[in-house]
Every structure is written in C-alpha cells, then in structure tokens.
C-alpha cells in the first residue's frame, strides 16, 4: 500500500453504522440519510454469510421492503465465476438490479477486465447511480448509500464514488481467507483509531451515526 493509500485508509469512516442490515428500516434511512434515493447492498457478510447458497426468507423480505418504500435498490458484489449466476438468481427478484464487476467491463477498452472494477473501485456504485435515475432525473452519487461489512472495500468504494456509506459488522462466520487473515485485523485497528465500533456489543441496535 502506498503512502497515499495508507493516508486514505486512515481517513476512512462511514456516515452511518448499525449492528445488522435487518435492524435498519427504510424510515431510519430517510431520517438519518436525508436525500438518499438509492441503496447499494454488498452481499457476502452483509446480507448473507460468505457465499451462502440461499437467502433467509426474512432477509429477502427485508431487502424487498426498501424497494417497496420507494428506494432504488442494488446489489453490488465483487463475486466472480459461478457465484455471479447464483447471485443473480437469488437477488434479481428482490432489487432493482444486481451488478458484479463484469457488468462494468467496457468492450471498447482493450484489456479491460472485471478485476479492475471490484470494490474499492467506485465503478459499481457509479453504475448503480446511473441506472437509478432517468435522463431527466439523474441520481447523484451523494444520493446513494452503500451498505457493506468492509471498511476497505465497501466504505472505500462509496468514498471513491462520492456516495454515502453504512458499515455493519460481518454477518456469519465464514470469510474469504485473505480478507480474514489480513484485512479484518487491519480494519479492527482502523475502526479503533477512528472511534468506530470494534467488538460486537459496541455496534448500535439500529441505524446510528458513528460517535467519533
Ligand atoms: Mg462483504
């Protein structure tokens, strides 16, 4: 990581925190994130356990409730390979659109590859903002709230896009190995430095602004 990268990581902080996505209501988003019109949800560790093959019915219903409340809703996931198809099958019926890095690949750009568009790149957030609005009613990035469990991926992508960010603790027990070994311990240090919740009991029950 470059010096600039370290400085950016040290400055990362979400606009909002919550103990779980399930504890966040559309009304609370309207109250604490006024002006937000679109929500971008990470999946693994946020809506489901890492690479879960199914979504719990109450979680599906909860996700759907945001769209029914008038928000444009998106799933933005760094997944690749076979998981892409699975993610579409699980989430297409629940949200406005599902995006994975491959959706950001520009065939006109030589050598463009899905891996360039993974969070913390802002691309999927910007694609969601573009899809959320119409030509005469564009949705600005700051009207988008990114919801995820990783400071260095989800919150960083939101910041890079100029969007707002809601951080939740990882849901479930599983994790990508590299993330578990390197990124999670670093994120715990960064959260401590920023005065963000660190241990499970520190996270607020519903949607809240961080105390720092
Ligand atoms: Mg995640």
- pLDDT tens for the chain, 212 residues long, are 778 877 888 889 999 999 999 999 999 999 999 999 999 999 999 999 998 999 999 999 999 999 999 999 999 999 999 999 999 999 999 999 999 999 999 999 999 999 999 999 999 999 999 999 988 899 999 999 999 999 999 999 999 999 999 999 999 888 888 888 888 999 999 999 999 999 989 999 999 999 86
3-state secondary structure of 20: coil
Alpha-carbon distance 76 to 97, whole Å?
A: 9
Q: 139 CA to middle of ligand 1, Å?
A: 24
Q: 76 CA to middle of ligand 1, Å?
A: 10
Verdict on whether the full-model pTM lies above 0.85: yes
Strands 38-41 and 16-17: unpaired
Q: 150 CA to middle of ligand 1, Å?
A: 6
Number of domains in the chain: 1
Instruction: Answer whether residue 209 is part of any domain.
Output: no
Instruction: Answer whether residue 211 is part of any domain.
Output: no
Instruction: Answer whether residue 153 is part of any domain.
Output: yes
Instruction: Answer whether residue 210 is part of any domain.
Output: no
Q: 177 CA to middle of ligand 1, Å?
A: 13
**Structural contact between residues 22 and 46, judged by C-beta atoms closer than 8 angstroms:** no
Q: 72 CA to middle of ligand 1, Å?
A: 20
Alpha-carbon distance 15 to 147, whole Å?
A: 10
Instruction: Answer whether residue 128 is part of any domain.
Output: yes
Q: 185 CA to middle of ligand 1, Å?
A: 15
Closest of 210, 193, 119 to residue 156, by C-alpha? 119
Alpha-carbon distance 129 to 149, whole Å?
A: 20
Q: Which domain holds residue 39?
A: 3-202
Q: 44 CA to middle of ligand 1, Å?
A: 4
CATH number, residue 177: 3.40.50.1000
Instruction: Answer whether residue 120 is part of any domain.
Output: yes
Instruction: Answer whether residue 189 is part of any domain.
Output: yes
């Amino acid at each position: 990581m470059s010096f600039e990268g370290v400085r950016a990581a040290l400055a990362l902080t979400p606009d909002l925190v919550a103990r779980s996505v399930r504890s966040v209501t559309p009304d609370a988003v309207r109250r604490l994130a006024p002006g937000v019109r679109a929500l971008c949800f990470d999946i693994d560790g946020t809506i489901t356990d890492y690479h879960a093959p199914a979504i719990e019915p109450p979680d599906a219903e909860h996700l759907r409730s945001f769209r029914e409340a008038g928000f444009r809703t998106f799933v933005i996931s760094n997944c690749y390979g076979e998981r892409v198809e699975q993610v579409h099958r699980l989430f297409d019926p629940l949200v406005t659109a599902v995006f994975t890095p491959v959706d950001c690949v520009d065939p006109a750009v030589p050598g463009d590859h899905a891996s360039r568009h993974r969070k913390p790149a802002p691309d999927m957030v910007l694609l969601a903002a573009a899809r959320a609005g119409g030509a005469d009613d564009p949705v600005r990035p700051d009207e988008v709230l990114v919801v995820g469990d990783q400071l260095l991926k989800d919150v960083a992508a939101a910041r890079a896009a100029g969007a707002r960010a809601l951080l939740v603790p990882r849901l479930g027990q599983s994790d990508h190995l590299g993330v578990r070994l390197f990124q999670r311990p670093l994120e715990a240090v960064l959260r401590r430095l920023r005065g963000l919740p660190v241990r499970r009991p520190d996270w607020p029950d519903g949607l809240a602004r961080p105390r720092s």
